Structure 1
């Protein structure tokens, strides 16, 4: 840190790149680890939680940080790659302090309840120790500040209530620091929060965002989060999930709970999920999604391109469209064939998709086993494949990402989130108690 005196707000550290002395990127900051102290003394900052390329989370002691400037963190010496595990005396600043409600203890505003929006850290003069010095807060209801919603920055000693567990803690400020994360990365954040904070963050996410994140979480986390939602909200989130992912999640719940949630879902969405749950897990029917892009033969190339531009479509589903007789909702009328995205780019916008349909590629039946589905995609270099019933109606499409989910070990998501890959750039493992005595350094 330049001059050792500049103040850094921790929300600005979220996602900041971390570089070693050679200028190679080690990872990105995901949280700040602090140790609360009694008597109103500012908490000591122990280090940073850094997510490396393998998505493993490691601990970087503040004694190894030589600079926090220009939107980057510079480290010195060897970075240890042992997976970070939070200790009982440690507090995650982003994960646990933001959005906490505390009270002011000094001045005219004494006794006012405020919400923590951010905290700042500072390096102590002539030392390599860091501490939290300021708290950025917003006024809640009531109190003596001039108006509701007013914000101010106060000394750490001017507030109280951080050491008490808070029920019903919000997540607005925490989510603001991670708003640009991809669903898989936000799932990684949730996985590493305490169950209490995980439930609070899930409650603060909108249905679509929570649905996307749930699809990226390990099964145990999915069940835990869904179980803490009210039934009506849980049904809404299941509706927002891809039908195949919703079916996989519901299949892990007790039968009576599954039926209760399906009853609360919209009939059309519930029907799709019930249909998928009727197939064996490791078959084309159990793997497929019921929402591929379906067009009638008299649709134009321009119509097809407009459909695949939908940002809610996965790249695999947008790679080709399926041409069917009406009705064009699965299960459709007679399946006629498929048109790949590349063919759509080569033909004029006014051409009819029925005239450029590939009719030679045989579709899969819903009982096709997983090995045969994998071979089919590999043989024909496809990222999705049609699934058709005995009557010739399109039931859905199997995508390569669904196949990969089932080819990997069952606990691959949890293993990836917990452990990451073994080592990076030849760096060694962190020792259990590195740094100053009595705490992490």
Structure 2
């Protein structure tokens, strides 16, 4: 189980890449290391690195490599995100992809070729660093694929698969690795490549990028858990459906893994103050992580985020100014204390799989795909309510694994996942869906 933090620079936020300061970065990373974290996730801004479709700035790539080296000096591994993409309610896409030059991010051949060149160059720049945890293709890039984004790029699920496969291949070429490295990456012996999506992939039936895109591409299945998606509105800040949301999302996403031992990474989770009062942030942090520790094959948890956004920066949603484990001037907050206590006391070995599995009816009686499956899984949906009821009633306090009905016949898979008891969604659940389909502004 790895414990990490998403690095939000305390000086200049992510705009700091425009005027990179090794000393400011070192101060932030030393504070992160003081929490007992073993890794950070960093976010070079795409337009800064590739301001023109045929121009990749070596100075910007060198700055990324410098951050990886600084992190290593404090004992931190680094995951590098490529396509920013979307960060804390702001979009960062190059000018050559917008307005007068607008082309489809996912399907335009010239755009895809240029993006491939960038991803490969970024991966190649850091490939030889011994503390490289891996490359994530982009931060919640699926938010560009559909509403509520104000100007989405149209893409089908099939085109999304082609795009994700192309980007993963580019990263692997840059790293000089092949696929199937998830378990090695968890043990620290190989970098991994991942694809990150916000939770519409599991909760919004209209989102072109879905569970299969998370489970079929890269070396681990990545989830981002934000309880302002309806969970906290329904259950309260510290209700079971809120503090168990990260655990639930890990189990839900893992249901689509074809490899029963594929690592599952809670790559983003935080305590958003629009639904979690600051006085509850430490308890929310502690309870969320403890429940995540009970899930199987968890690569790690990476908290959002390291430092609060400075109040001198304008136009952020209010919650963004108070998401850090540290204040903007570097004081450790109660949530930071809770994170540090867990990072230092967590068991060294991953949890054994929960023995109970709950069936998700992804297909109907005739075996055809069932409409509305993702809505059922959203907070307040019938399946989400059924999972939570079983989790709360479990003698060991652990939520059940999720088993797709379409795979019930795969006895070998079920045995490999350690599922010995199969449950179904209890009757009498009304399934009032409260999920809010929007990008995670904390990301």
Higher Cα radius of gyration? 1
Higher relative contact order (CA 8 A, sep 6+): 2
TM-score scaled by length of structure 2 = 0.26
Instruction: Report the TM-score, using the length of structure 1 for normalisation.
Output: 0.26
Structure with the bigger percentage of helix? 2
Query: Per residue, is there more strand in 1 or in 2?
Result: 1
